[in-house]
Chains A and B, each alone.
Chain A
Amino acid sequence: MAVQTPPVLQEIIDDFQDMHEPDRLELLLEFSDNLPEPPERYAGHEEEMEQVVECQTPLFLALEYTDEQDPEVTIIVSAPPEAPTTRGFAGVLLEGLSGHNASTILSVPDDVPNQLGLTNALTPLRLRGMSALLGRIKRNITEHLNA
């Protein structure tokens, strides 16, 4: 499968790249602030969501699919306010990828987290947490398609 970044995600990456490093963290904070709450039906059911254990703080992930052969994927994430970096990463992936088709998301390059220009500002551990989240999203989709 060809590696390709959907335009919405590419725009976000460009926004990050156009900034100086401290401003990039401010932008990440905006994504954290604007991370949508999981829909009501997930409230109190975090244990039914998939836990992204690679993240430094508890982060729960759920994916919803439409019925098509190449389904539209809705990404749902729950992360506590004490974890703004994790929330910020989740916000970037949510805004950049949620609502796209499965095939589009699967073709996103795995190194997207490294393209945000935050490798100096954040520890490698944190960036790996974001890579892990993308990896989990892709794996969940692959499993869904093979089911």
Chain B
Amino acid sequence: MSTQVPVETSDYAHPEKLVSTEWVQEHKDDPNVVVLESNEDTLLYSTGHIPGAVKIDWHTELNDPVTRDFIDPEGFAKMAASKGISRDTTVVFYGDKSNWWAAYALWVFTLYGHEDVRLMNGGRDKWIAEGREITRETPSVKEADYPVVQRDDQTERANKAQVLENIGKLPLIDVRSVAEYTGETTHMAGYPQEGTLRGGHVPTAESVPWATAANEDGTFKSREELTKLYTDDAGLGTSDQVIAYCRIGERSAHTWFVLKHLLGYESVRNYDGSWTEWGNSVGVPIVVGAEPGQAPK
């Protein structure tokens, strides 16, 4: 069914996962397409969005505050249905800050095995910069049917124990800023301190700040540039398994998208517990400073 919606070609490993603003302009009203806006600032959607786009709030709609985890299968089915999404819908995500939160929402949909997810290259800023129409009108959504499916926490997601046992065995990518990586600070510049006790990184993790994958206009760099960044400089090489992490798993969802869909790495897992969990955990090692460091003996 989903093959009814055309894909765009590019030289990325999985070109069907990325669409341009032109593509969205042309296909946003197709019957099997739902466009979702996911922003860091959750009020931003209300100030104007792509006509017909539906808001998804990463904070209130994807998380379960009681379990400190993502919403459960029933919750996911209900949320998706309420946004007019069926199992075979082509869901196109876009958002602010080079699609950082859009990639995060797309990743959560992937955990639930939603097949046809795509990201709008350049996100919200590019759409607006091109002078395309935005509206404050909230579309009326026709409730869809979405099956209750189990979440797969093994394929695209890593937990603390898995990271711990893979230190020195699998390549780890730390996508936070350099100052967070070295341990100089425990939070992003301009963001409040969130109460992480230790600064530094997971032993052996290579530092590739997430934004290095994006151009000025928020679009992704070319496959050639990305290959140089990750495959060559960060030493991922032909490794068939990678784990990425950041502070709470949002920035590393962006890197997960790059490694998995644009570069075609076979198995990429996002450790969403990330530094907020690792930096505060009892009994897990860290490395301070600019060097990746050694696996503990």
User: Which residues of A come within 8 Å of B, CB atoms?
Assistant: 25-26, 28-29, 32-33, 53-58, 81-86, 88, 120-123, 125, 128-129, 132
User: In the docked arrangement, what's the CA distance between A10 and B240, Å?
Assistant: 59
**Chain A CB within 8 A of B116 CB:** no
Contact with A along B113-130 (1 / 0, CB 8 A): 000000000000000000
Task: Decide if A84 touches B59 in the complex (CB within 8 Å).
Answer: no
> How far, in Å, is B230 (CB) from chain A's closest CB?
27
Q: How large is the interface on B (under 10, 10 to 19, 20 to 34, 35 or more residues)?
A: 10 to 19
User: Which residues of B come within 8 Å of A, CB atoms?
Assistant: 40-44, 46-47, 59-60, 96, 190-192, 194
Nearest-neighbor residue (CB-CB) of B45 within chain A: A84
11 A–B contacts, CB within 8 A, in A order: A25-B43, A28-B43, A29-B47, A55-B190, A84-B41, A85-B41, A85-B42, A120-B60, A123-B59, A125-B194, A132-B192
Q: A29-B46, A121-B60, A122-B59 are known contacts. Are A82 and B194 too (CB-CB below 8 A)?
A: no
Nearest-neighbor residue (CB-CB) of A132 within chain B: B192
> How far, in Å, is B144 (CB) from chain A's closest CB?
21
Q: Which residues of A contact B59 (CB under 8 A)?
A: 121-123
Task: Select one of B43, B44, B192 contacting A125, CB under 8 A.
Answer: B192
> How far, in Å, is A117 (CB) from chain B's closest CB?
14
Q: What would 14 more interface pairs be, CB under 8 Å, given A28-B43, A54-B192, A56-B190?
A: A32-B43, A54-B191, A56-B41, A56-B191, A57-B41, A58-B190, A81-B47, A82-B41, A84-B43, A84-B44, A84-B46, A121-B42, A125-B194, A132-B192
> How far, in Å, is B44 (CB) from chain A's closest CB?
6
Q: A29-B47, A120-B60 are known contacts. Are A83 and B192 too (CB-CB below 8 A)?
A: no
Task: Select one of A88, A121, A122, A125 contacting B191, CB under 8 A.
Answer: A125
User: In the docked arrangement, what's the CA distance between A101 and B96, Å?
Assistant: 39
Q: Which residues of B contact A53 (CB under 8 A)?
A: 190
Q: Which residues of A contact B43 (CB under 8 A)?
A: 25, 28-29, 32, 84-85, 88
